[in-house]
Structure 1
Amino acid sequence: MPAARRFVTAAAAAVATRALQRAGTRLPAPITEALARTNHRGEPVTLAEGPVVALGAALAAAAFAAPRRTAVAAAVAGLGSAVVGAYDDIVGARPEQRADKGFRGHLLALREGRVSAGAVKVAGVGVSALVAGTVLGASERRGPLGAAVDTALAATVIAGAANVVNLFDLRPGRALKVSLLAAAPLLGPGRDGSAVVASAVTGAAVAALPDDLGERSMLGDAGANALGALLGVAAAARLGRPGRALTAAGLIGLMAASERVSFTAVIARTPALNTIDLWGRRPAAPAPAAETATETAAETATETAAEIAAPAPTPAPAAAPTPTPAAAPAPAVLPARGTAAETAAPAAMAAAGSPGNEPAAEAPAADSSAAEVTAAPTSPRTGEPGPGAGGR
């Protein structure tokens, strides 16, 4: 395939995408409202990017790809995936549909007697992929069994690519970057039309990237499924039976992994992938003032708790008060048991502050507080400060 043809295809896809983007700003109010969404910053975005990219890429591929079977397969897979993806974007946003996510959610909805918008999308992508796979192998001379195997593998590659690209549409620009990276190895020359289809994907993705990274619009299922399906057509047209089988297995593995592993977490932990993912994106939004105040209060409370829990320095033992002559006890003369002196002895000892006896009068409040601070109770089992010491 001449390089000029690929360049013209990419340019045509980019020009068509930009023209459709401008036309999308003049859509009727009901359509604009149906495509309006609010992103993670609380800012308005539109899903119009998806149909725009799908049309720009699919029409350019259908116009310039050769042989014609590749052009027809691209039109069927790209536009078919875009239509059912747009249905899921609009109907799937309804409150009763929001829980029906992933294959498990679609199956649970079917068991409850409901057909989720996602199930409609999966079925529609599968049917369009099967038709496209049949078209790709229409002119090849094989036996019935070989034709069935090749068609099934091509359909699996197309449907799998459509779904996998959609799995990456979770951050601004990510699905478009994945599409560009996947299209790069398919841009090499060949006579199967795959390079032209990949060029159409490249041109449309480049044209849509600024608005997507600027968080003014987003692909949604319509755009992500369409770009993935077109890449699947290019791969199926380029690869033979072994290559289709390996690609189909890899795509199925990614879809299975997505049910258990977060691709976003994997990208964040991989420096090279994280760098590519963050390229061109707007900086993260600063934390709201209320959230910042809450974090500051939490930090202050933590520091205060640490200060309270820290063991207080042990005060130096106070010097024993010098007894005054009036409080000094008289020389002890042990009285005989049962005498009047024995009855008067406890009162004299209480007046002198003798330990082991309760005071005759209640101690002042200040003395009681000082005693509590100086001698914090300890837990009888662990030896840790008890409830009164501020550690628990």
Structure 2
Amino acid sequence: MAVLFVLGFLLTFLMIPLFKGMLTEGDIVRPNYKGDMIPVSMGIVFIPMLTINAILLASVVRSIENAAYIFIFVSAVFSMAFAGIMDDIIGNRNVSGLKGHFKSLFKGKLTTGGFKALFGGFIGILVSVFFSENLLELCLNTLVIALSTNLMNLMDLRPGRAIKVYLVIMIPMIITLTGFVKVLPFLLVPNVLAYFNEDLKARCMMGDAGSNVLGISIGILMVMGYTNDVKIAWLIFLVLIHILTEKYSLTKIIENNKVLNFIDRLGR
């Protein structure tokens, strides 16, 4: 874990200027909430060290089951990073929210957000097949993965907000996960920490390429490492937060709460 953390943090930190330059030169920029044009889709900077550390971890495991955990985790993260990059680059911002994207789909119009939602659902099913003993558990696991993925999209509306929420969730998970699954967060968390200040200071946006990765990693670890009782409780929370954000502005809710607003603005 220590080796994965140090390598992931240091090498991701060194890669950040390279990826910012690549996105800027490729005109992959977008106005942020203040209207400043900054690089978007910087979440792709998480991927190189995720891959390298996965190779290192796979080279020392002696169990096919543990190797399968690595492969499933990395493959799902790669898949959602791809969907996120697609949405960042060619996405239409005229439609927002899961409800809006599915309404468009039912009218015969596929949005990148609709594609991302459907694709994420199928990835959730694919992962859940390996960890479900019956149809009911398959549905539970799929919903946990799909809604966890979208949770980070809901949070990624202000600099640093999504990563703060991600860390608040991941720290207890790292403490409570057991067995081989406990090491998997270290494929991603140090990379996110290395990038955190760039996002917090609004020098670039991780975009859906980043938020999708953060979200699906939470969902997969939940499915891999916890009992159904914990997953049901987490799913209830996810459903409630999705209902809330469909009806109300999460940003306004945070701004109207002194404690949440202080935490949200901390470090900007």
8 Å CA contact retained: 1:38, 1:44: yes
Equivalence for 2:189: 202
- Indicate how the Cα distance of structure 1 residues 261 and 21 shifts in structure 2: closer, same or farther if over 3 A, else same: same
Equivalence for 2:262: 275
Residue-by-residue CA offset, 1:172-199 (whole Å, 9 max, x unaligned): 0111111111101011265443332333
Stretch of structure 1 that moved more, 72-81 or 114-123: 72-81
Q: Over the residues paired in the alignment, what is the CA RMSD in angstroms?
A: 2.4
Q: Is 1:88 aligned to residue 87 of structure 2? A: yes
- Mapped partners of 2:146, 2:102: distance in 1: 18
Residue-by-residue CA offset, 1:214-260 (whole Å, 9 max, x unaligned): 21111111100111101111122221122222212221221122101
Q: Give, in angstroms, the shift of residue 161 of structure 1.
A: 1.0
After TM superposition, which residue ranges in structure 1, 4 or more long, deviate above 4 angstroms? none
8 Å CA contact retained: 1:134, 1:151: yes
Stretch of structure 1 that moved more, 266-275 or 211-220: 266-275
* Structure 2 unaligned regions, length at least 5: none
8 Å CA contact retained: 1:51, 1:82: yes
State the AA in 1 paired with 2:174: L
TM-score of the two chains, using structure 2 as the length reference: 0.87
- Indicate how the Cα distance of structure 1 residues 61 and 135 shifts in structure 2: closer, same or farther if over 3 A, else same: farther
TM-score of the two chains, using structure 1 as the length reference: 0.61
Residue of 33, 42, 47 corresponding to 1:49: 42
- Mapped partners of 1:192, 1:58: distance in 2: 21
Number of equivalenced pairs: 262
- Mapped partners of 2:46, 2:29: distance in 1: 17
Relative contact order, higher structure (CA 8 A, sep 6+): 2
Q: Give, in angstroms, the shift of residue 39 of structure 1.
A: 2.2
8 Å CA contact retained: 1:57, 1:227: no
Residue of 208, 213, 222 corresponding to 1:226: 213
Equivalence for 1:113: 108
3-state SS, counterpart of residue 27 of structure 1: helix
- Indicate how the Cα distance of structure 1 residues 189 and 256 shifts in structure 2: closer, same or farther if over 3 A, else same: closer
Equivalence for 1:37: 30
- Mapped partners of 1:192, 1:157: distance in 2: 21
State the AA in 2 paired with 1:73: I
8 Å CA contact retained: 1:69, 1:136: no
* Bigger proportion of residues as helix: 2
| Equivalent residue runs for 1:1-392 within 5 Å | 5=1, 7-27=2-22, 32-33=26-27, 35-57=28-50, 60=53, 63-64=56-57, 67-92=66-91, 97-137=92-132, 146-188=133-175, 190-281=177-268
8 Å CA contact retained: 1:14, 1:207: yes
- Indicate how the Cα distance of structure 1 residues 179 and 61 shifts in structure 2: closer, same or farther if over 3 A, else same: farther
3-state SS, counterpart of residue 202 of structure 2: coil
- Indicate how the Cα distance of structure 1 residues 107 and 160 shifts in structure 2: closer, same or farther if over 3 A, else same: closer
8 Å CA contact retained: 2:40, 2:205: yes
Identity of aligned residues (%): 26
- Mapped partners of 1:160, 1:63: distance in 2: 30
- Mapped partners of 2:50, 2:108: distance in 1: 37
Residue-by-residue CA offset, 1:24-70 (whole Å, 9 max, x unaligned): 1453877x21x211223332211141111245446545753872232
- Mapped partners of 1:165, 1:71: distance in 2: 22
Residue-by-residue CA offset, 1:73-119 (whole Å, 9 max, x unaligned): 21122111111111111111xxxx32221122213322332111111
- Mapped partners of 1:157, 1:61: distance in 2: 24
State the AA in 2 paired with 1:171: R
8 Å CA contact retained: 1:164, 1:251: yes
- Indicate how the Cα distance of structure 1 residues 55 and 156 shifts in structure 2: closer, same or farther if over 3 A, else same: farther
Residue-by-residue CA offset, 1:332-370 (whole Å, 9 max, x unaligned): xxxxxxxxxxxxxxxxxxxxxxxxxxxxxxxxxxxxxxx
Stretch of structure 1 that moved more, 56-65 or 15-24: 56-65
8 Å CA contact retained: 2:41, 2:88: no
Q: Give, in angstroms, the shift of residue 205 of structure 1.
A: 1.9
